[in-house]
Amino acid sequence: MSLPPIKRVLLKLSGEVLMGEQDYGIDPAYVTRLAEEVKAAKETGLEMCLVIGGGNIFRGISGAAKGLDRTTGDYMGMLATVMNALAMQNALERLGVETRVQSAIPMASVCEPYIRRRAERHLEKGRVVIFAAGTGNPFFTTDTGAALRAAEMGCDALLKGTSVDGVYDSDPKHNQSAVRFEAISYDQVLADNLKVMDATAVALCRENAIPIVVFSIREKGNLARVLAGNGVQTIVKKEA
């Protein structure tokens, strides 16, 4: 199943994909490979913005489980997303792609503050915009931050690049008989508690009629294939 015609998309990457084959941190070579995927997609004429998680460096909820205050942990996680955003900006600009990082937590020495009109202007000028620090608030995931920015930017789709090639009825890593959906409705994702994105993010996309496309970013060239309607993916939309 292919996407309808789109002009502007938001790509959400989990922090873990920046690790490459490492157990922790950022693999510069793998980040460069991801940047090449983004560049290739952008060269088709798309306006692109990104949100990157921070799980390769720090997860606030994991810190809270070990005794760290949840609010403090979430702010630490937001800082991790800024580090990832800067790494991706560096990789993109080394490939000749103009890129801006905007953070929901102002830190003028390293990036711009998030200003919606400025972000829109960057996209109109052909720049890639990376949104960092989630929503700027604790207790919200970067999935929710991605859905929020996709709505604010008027994106035609939210692409979630993960380690699996779509949405399954159960975890394919633990169940070899898991069935992948070609398309599924927002309501079914929420009713069946399928781990696509957190419920707040899915509800926000439903309210704004933004389709969510789940695909594997680990397959080289897969982003371009998905955008062309040829890749393996699951589309989450109003009616499956």
**Residue 1 — pLDDT band, cuts 50, 70, 90?**
low
Q: pTM of this prediction? A: 0.94
**pLDDT tens track for 138-169:** 999 999 999 999 999 999 999 999 988 999 99
**pLDDT tens track for 20-54:** 889 899 999 999 999 999 999 999 999 999 999 99
- SS3 label, residue 119: helix
What pLDDT score was predicted for residue 40? 94
CA-based torsion, 157, 158, 161, 166: positive or negative: negative
Give the range among 102-106, 116-120, 223-227 with minimum mean pLDDT: 223-227
DSSP string, 56-71: TT--HHHHHHTT--HH
Tell me phi and psi for residue 12, to 5 degrees.
Answer: -100, 120
Q: Where do we find the tokens 């309501």?
A: 187
Cβ-based neighbours of 48, under 8 Å, separated by 6 or more: 8, 9, 10, 11, 38, 41, 42, 123, 128, 129
What pLDDT score was predicted for residue 64? 65
d(C-alpha 42, C-alpha 9), whole Å: 10
What pLDDT score was predicted for residue 239? 79
- SS3 label, residue 155: coil
Q: Which of 24, 78, 71 is nearest to 51 (CA)?
A: 78
As its CATH architecture, domain 8-237 has: 3-Layer(aba) Sandwich (3.40)
pLDDT tops 60 at residue 72: yes
CA 125 to chain centroid: 22
Give the strand pairing for 99-103 and 47-52: unpaired
Q: How is the chain split into domains, by residue range?
A: 8-237
When the pLDDT of each residue in the chain is averaged and rounded to a whole number, the result is: 93
Tell me phi and psi for residue 48, to 5 degrees.
Answer: -125, 135
pLDDT tops 70 at residue 2: no
pLDDT tops 80 at residue 3: no
Alpha helices per DSSP H over the chain: 28-42, 60-65, 70-94, 116-124, 142-152, 186-191, 199-207, 222-227
pLDDT tops 60 at residue 87: yes
Quick one: average pLDDT of 80-102? 98
pLDDT tops 90 at residue 65: no
Higher-pLDDT residue of 121, 21: 121
Q: How far is CA 233 from CA 118, 137, 226, 228, in A?
A: 32, 31, 7, 11
Q: Which of 83, 50, 61 is nearest to 217 (CA)?
A: 50
* Paired tokens of 200: 């707040």
